[in-house]
A and B are shown apart, each in its own frame.
Chain A
């Protein structure tokens, strides 16, 4: 009743909601987008100063838009529209010559010479690798790619085992497939034979396998409680070491005895393949090394801390090219005579040490971001140092710095181009030597080649950075409360 009374004393009260009006035309659709994103900064003419600012903005917008669009058009034109795609008559360089140079293309033509890249494609991918043996590289690549894709795609099962496969079995498989039988004087073999103490005779192999089996039997018996208490406690470790000894014996046999694959020396490797070998080895080795170094740098033990700090700062303070020089020139001097350390291995050592130092700093950043309570809590529940690192600290610290880790990977991938300076034919090095081929000499030769190489690197690096952004979003979603 009271309500009715109040309404009557007021002239007008709306009884139903006002109709929803469409947003103003300047805010929606293409026009609204244009207004918000381009015109907003150049429509203020309320004072002379504002008018000058608006005009300047309009001018620069037009200028930059013009430059950007012409650049994109000329790139597309060069790479696709004007490009020569085929060379049906086998003319080679003359296929990409204009009339002035003695060819058939119209004067002033400027486009990519793709037949040149096509002709050099195998060289760019595999370098001087034996043409009949390319299936070995392809097989290695396909296995690696499938396993990696498996690892990265979330819903697939057994990802843990695929990861273990990639880190343990796959490297050995890759060396066997790519390299073939090892050179008797190579460093890998001398490490495997423990500097010549072991020799790959059937007796040694049998003995190793027996030792492994023996260890496993002891472990099993211990687990059943038939042996001493202490063996029971360590049954798992003993079993693992048994597996390790057997695995070592098998790898040893494979490497030392050969398996029907001819040896292809690393001097005959090249192209994208060597780029990927260097990058992947660097990436895989730098993460654990970097974690160790970062833990060392934050350790309470002064000796470990000083050594790790000096090590990290040394590698971070010098350019990679000097590290590669050092590896290629000084490493042979550091090793005992007779150890043959090939060029690729030297570059790998350099790249590994270098990227480990950078990785260490990234990981250290993650460790510093972890709350002190996590360290104290994990030691309060009785975890040892390594347990608390493995189970509590590192999982958190590493997820914090995934962007940094991936950035280091991208940097490392780009830095692999430097190995061409110390004489390895990586993708860029192979490209450079392909450019020296006079049979394809034309004014657009180098443009086409660099465009192709740049595109390959761009796809890899851009893909990695997108994946890291995806991971980051996913993890931050899981951290959100």
Chain B
């Protein structure tokens, strides 16, 4: 009797038994919780006379979406396009604004980050004030400011503010830019560019290999730049410049309703997109600037001194010693800022820019009412994107990791 009890106690106090018991309990409670939720949902859906399924995707959508890259790519038309098209339009618009935002935010962020480390007081103060102001005010407030306070107070459709007279103008309808319309034969130039990219890639590999073997330096950067610009340019000129630039057309006379920028001339960026783009990139730039500053400061001063002692000049020191080491610190948080920017583009729902959350989880959800399926579809886009990013991150970290001997 006594030995039985002590055997049981021995098992109970054994770490492994305890951990197994704990894990079994954890899994059981998880399964039970999940079952409870599914059961409740089933009951609730039945009470509301709803079913689960993705059949709604083939139904036609009955609402208008403002003209953006997505509607142009998928040829959106009210009454003929389906909810699946709406989904893809949302994804396209999300990535469009994220892509543009990432480019702009990176340029601005690196500029401000380097400026904040400058010896020059003016640069330093300017970037410090910018960073502190932008970082401490919510993105949504900034978005509303740009959209409602700035872009909405522009002249109406009959007026304009010139940014570059006769080339770029802006009014409440949007930003009017010249558009380049490719003619027949422009594809040759595109092919030339693709070939130049491939050649540059292999040339770089060859140049690195030769430098490592013989020590002779090949000016790969300038050669690559020349190839990338020169080859397409030559093909473009030889094939007879098959690109027509179309400028926005502005009429100040004529019937009152026909005044203003004319439809079909040049291209227009809707103010919703401008506001999202501006606020996202200005906001994220402040964070990128701090990352860049931390990255540069993380490089030991001894590295600069050692390179000077080796006889390197300031430019090569920056290019060959400081930047590669700083990038190792900068890239991981930078990627997560890119991811944040992409996720933050969902705030566009507040001003009705037709991105994924706005058109699909907003307008379409209101019309179809398939909460579970639609939110699942929407979340899976962001999840896929963030998983892809983290796979890239792991690959990158493994590549640049310090090799310790």
Q: Which of B40, B136, B144, B153 contacts A457 (CB 8 A)?
A: B136
B residues within 8 A CB of A421?
140, 347, 349-350
- Restricting to A33-55, which residues have a CB under 8 Å from any CB of B? 36-38, 40-41
Asked whether any CB of chain B lies closer than 8 Å to the CB of A471, the reply is no
Asked whether any CB of chain B lies closer than 8 Å to the CB of A128, the reply is no
CB distance A326 to B375 under 8 Å? yes
Q: What 0/1 readout, one digit per residue, does chain A (295-334) give for beta carbons within 8 Å of chain B?
A: 0000011111001000001101111111001100110111
CB distance B375 to A325 under 8 Å? yes
* Nearest Cβ on chain B to A383's Cβ, whole angstroms: 14
* Nearest Cβ on chain A to B373's Cβ, whole angstroms: 11
CB distance B149 to A450 under 8 Å? yes
Asked whether any CB of chain B lies closer than 8 Å to the CB of A74, the reply is no
Asked whether any CB of chain A lies closer than 8 Å to the CB of B30, the reply is yes
Closest A residue to B120 by beta carbon equals A41
Asked whether any CB of chain A lies closer than 8 Å to the CB of B80, the reply is no
Dominant secondary structure at the B interface:
helix
A residues within 8 A CB of B123?
60-61, 64
Asked whether any CB of chain A lies closer than 8 Å to the CB of B192, the reply is no
Asked whether any CB of chain B lies closer than 8 Å to the CB of A109, the reply is no
* Nearest Cβ on chain A to B54's Cβ, whole angstroms: 17
Contact-size category for B:
35 or more
A165-173, A239-247, A410-418: which lies at the interface? A410-418
In the complex the two chains form, what is the Cα distance from A300 to B15 in whole Å?
11
Q: What 0/1 readout, one digit per residue, does chain A (363-404) give for beta carbons within 8 Å of chain B?
A: 000000000000000000000000000000000000000000
* Nearest Cβ on chain A to B14's Cβ, whole angstroms: 14
CB distance A333 to B41 under 8 Å? yes
CB distance A37 to B121 under 8 Å? yes
Asked whether any CB of chain B lies closer than 8 Å to the CB of A454, the reply is yes
B residues within 8 A CB of A314?
383
- Restricting to B1-60, which residues have a CB under 8 Å from any CB of A? 19, 22-23, 26-27, 30, 37, 40-41, 43-45, 47
CB distance A321 to B119 under 8 Å? no
- Restricting to B144-159, which residues have a CB under 8 Å from any CB of A? 144-145, 148-149, 152-153
Asked whether any CB of chain B lies closer than 8 Å to the CB of A335, the reply is yes
CB distance B149 to A447 under 8 Å? yes
In the complex the two chains form, what is the Cα distance from A326 to B145 in whole Å?
27
In the complex the two chains form, what is the Cα distance from A420 to B47 in whole Å?
30
Chain A positions near chain B (C-beta within 8 angstroms): 36-38, 40-41, 57, 60-61, 64-65, 67-68, 300-304, 307, 313-314, 316-322, 325-326, 329-330, 332-337, 410, 414-415, 417-418, 420-421, 428, 432, 435, 443, 446-447, 450, 453-454, 457-458, 461-462, 465
Given contacts A41-B120, A304-B22, A454-B141, 11 further A-B contacts (CB under 8 A): A65-B126, A68-B122, A68-B126, A317-B382, A318-B343, A319-B344, A319-B382, A330-B372, A332-B44, A450-B145, A458-B136
